[in-house]
Structure 1
Amino acid sequence: MFTKAFRVKSNTVMKGSDRRKLRADISAAFPSLSADDLNELVPNKEELNVVKIYAHKGEAVTLYVIHKNPMFFQMEKQLYPTVYTLWRYPDMLAAFTTWAPVVQKLMGGADLMLPGVVVSSAGLPDVKKGDCCSVNIVSNRAPVAVGTAAMSSSDMRSSGMKGKGLNVLHTYMDQLWAFGDKTAPPIIPVTDTSVQADGEMDGVECGEEEEEEVMKNEGEDSEGQNGSEIAAVESSCQGLQDLSLSKQEKEEEQRLHEEEEEVEEEDSRSPQEQMDSLLYQCFLHALKTKLKKSELPLLTGTFLRKHMVSCCPKGKHIDIKKSSYKKFSKFLQTMQKEHSLVQVKELSKGVDSIVEVDWKNSAIRSFCVPEDWEPSEESGEQGESCEVVYHPPEITPLYGVTARLQPLFQDTHQKKGAVLQASEVRTIITDYVKRNELVHETNKSYVKINPILCDCLLEKSEYQDVEVLKWDDLFSRTLNKMQACHQLLFPGQPPVVKKGQVEPIDVSVASRGSNKKVTIIKNLEGFGIDPAMVSDTLQRVVQASAVLHDVPGAKDRQLVQIQGNQVQHVGRLLLEQYQIPRRFIQGLDKAAKAGKKK
């Protein structure tokens, strides 16, 4: 799961209450750990960070990091230890033993197959399906992989040790290991050296050369047991490192070579020209391999989302605004007028559709699908669901330092305009009060007002009367005097900080001629939602005409207008599919009452 680089979403220091909860969760998940072990893993005074990441396939994972090493990772509310933790507590999990060349396969992303498991005289560890397990090599008990059991121990024995044994999640030398200090496994001698292989190396599809290497290792292990056991352990660990480093060096060399080739090809073109070329390539690809004559006429938005996006090469993304066309409608006009590839007509007001395609055009007939193109799991689903295309932003309220409050923040070097979270403001104010000894002598819940606090937080009418404030009143006054801001964080994009409160999505119902009702949706762009996609989706769902209009006085802003009172459908779309919190949508109470005409 961590074979490829992941993206860090946030990195924060864990609070005391969260530490206690984490300690309780670890104790419940791994009962073999003592109270001293828990205190060592989750110390009270040392800095413990919570790092939220997105794996390369989009899975949300939470890391718990101490001393710059990830100690645990959590996904779907399940805790798993990393190899750094298991090297300190090797008996924390039930362990399966295998050969060093097998671990090399695990590092490449393979799961542990039962024929590759080495069974000791004590037999297999007692596990149930889904239990968290570790993997070590025959001559060293230090775990090198973490995963979950694909079947119970009894099922493994009844299957004749065939099939998948462990679903591997994390290994030594992967990107999660590289997130730490990159230390090598310690040498932990094996207590029971009488091991027997219950199968050959084909458990992970090893070739003949690898099988010979395994047989060689078996012989070396046997000699080491009769001679120096420690030397055998050191040799096995070194061999594992050499295999992994060699593999990493080859992959790194290949990656750098590919990047150099890409840079050489793309350096001669501007980013705008590259996007124009990508659009044209995906357009021809979609016409030749995706679009069927029976689908015509087809809405232009549906064609883009369902067909063109799925034809985008892996690692690239279509962004119309980065092209010279800026709008998809303009791109289609060019394809119609200059290349005569398609015919586009406005079948209903404000909604364009592709009505005809010239499949005999030489550009389509001569187009060949790129050899390096492979279907993407995400792009293949983008045409069917808005959930895959759109991910709701993480919205964080922020507070800006104003000129009036600057004296309060000058000790922390926060200048006017600096943007802080509420917790950061609380910490700065608390430090200021304690540093200036402003806590009331007899009642610790009150803070004495000095001249700076008076000028920053009190009204003129309060100068003579107010001498102390409660802590909560002090914090609330500080936040109220600061400039309201907010941060929008979309997955895969840098955070965007904007001044003011979040402008909610506005849903309203208006009357047009002959007392006809229309539903109007505004401010979709503020949440990264494409109004054209919402219009297209609603049009298909409610079978009513939907059009886009430019918002007067607002650049690059559009509103969606759809016939009838469709507030109920709009609410379901925004709340369920787009997962926008209800507090950021206003007007949902205007839905048509049951039994009344829309």
Structure 2
Amino acid sequence: MFAKAFRVKSNTVIKGSDRRKLRADISATFPSLPAEELNELIPNKEELNIVKIYAHKGDAVTLYVLHKNPIFFQLDKQLFPTVYTLWRYPTMLPALVTWPPVLQKLAGGADLMLPGVVVAAEGLPEVDQGDCCAVTLVASRAPVSVGTAAVSSAEMRNSGMKGKGVNILHTYMDQLWAFGDKSHPPVIPVTNSPSEAEGEPGGEECEDEEQEVEDGSHPAPVETSRQSMQELRLDEDELLDEEEPLEDKEGENTDGEDGDPRSPQEQMNELLLQCFLHALKSKVKKSELPLLTSTFQRNHMMSCCPKGKYLDIKKSRYKKLSKFLQCMQKDHSLIQVKELSKGVESIVEVDWRNPELCSFRIPADFEPEKESEEEGGSSEVPYQPPEITPLYGVTARLEPLFQDAQKKKGTPLKANEVRNIITEYVKKNELVHETNKNYVNINPTLCDCLLEKSEYQEVEKLKWDDLFSRTLSRMQACHELLFPGQPPVVKKGQMEPIDITVASRGSNKKVTMIKNLEAFGLDPAVVADTLQHQVQASCVLQDSPGAKNRVLVQIQGNQVQQVGKLLLDRYQIPRKYVQGLDKASKPGKKK
């Protein structure tokens, strides 16, 4: 449920009456919780907040937050404790045990399947279908997931530990966990390790996972658990530091091609930091800030890479540029990164007096690459435009049509996904016309979703193409932006194009204005500098009217033709996303 980011609707301090009601609801839902622990969970005088959110699939959820940590969440009028609460009271819920590698699947949104459950000598905990239960890892009683039992424990045993065991709602390292202080689970030893019960029913179903904990001792499962958590959360520096010894162990007695005893990942980590410090020291100017992170990587870091080497962030421990920059901000205090527009991050501040930056020396053997005169001295690394995918959001009117596919209101879908869902709906309800397969019979649901009121009594069938086009036209327009090295961002509405306009100033002088460059990952300052060199005309940056944190590029004269050539040919922006190319000056006329 919380595998993806959620949207906060409101955040308010709880009232006294609501606090008492919450305490009563918790006591009724979890009767085994002692009164003293209940008072600790819901104190009388400490600030407790109610946060109402919408999960990424549209579910309305209420969070109860104490000391900045969510302690309970309420879904469909049912209360569930978070992992932060269960780490304090691990026996609050009955728990099923699984292997550490399974945690990665749970954090990605998967449910717990019974073949992955480890059955201890005392057997399974007694639960009924729909009961709230927890999931723990071998060698520790600290819960890592919360959900509801898919079937009763008796049915689990009768099925031979086949099928689904727990419908997972919340997991350690998901977005709900990230809403808190991001602390890690404690290691709470168990008296009888579940790994000792490998011969019990359920243990035989996990032969692959048993290879990683076959000795049954406590330290090995704990280390495996940490390794799984590292893979899920690479931006946590503590886990990153723990990961390096594992890499060393794998690369033991294996020198690289250049005789370097370090692993390839360690070498890339060092090269990444070197290029970063080099770029800050010699490339970035204070006047350039704020600077798009993609521009910083493309135009500054890449040009600082030593000759004969290639900077590949995916081969480092960070995997993504955003994770690396977060580490430079959090642990090194070198920069400050902010999201000035949704999905697009920028470096807004650099600590030029940072000791690590001041002490950095540019390598003596560094040979700067020759800059291209045609490109005005910019980096030779080609700009990569974002991938733009049109999406269609499910509306309230169409929700019954997508109910069988479990797509709720607001769910964004691609056109082919919509087509497949509609086709499956027609076939499932046997709506294909008996004599002409090109037509679909209209049932009450299709009538309400796709027809106008004036068509209710007249239209009894539709062609397949008409059926699909009507469905798409009644869905909410959305789009997905995928910038290189960044996670995809879904936004509502059509993709706003780059707008080129020509305006008149005093004495009938023309100026060309370009706006919305940031949406495509282009730095307005870089575009302005490039244009200024190409057309030899003055160029200035201004705040874009009516658009917060957006910059407008203004260049003297009618330069639409030059701007269009730059955007279409060099930056490879699709023509449909460049608006105003028809305003270019006609041949033989003054600009």
Q: Place the TM-score, normalised by the shorter chain, in its bin.
A: 0.3 to 0.5
When normalised by structure 1's length, the TM-score is 0.44
Structure whose CA Rg is larger: 1
When normalised by structure 2's length, the TM-score is 0.45
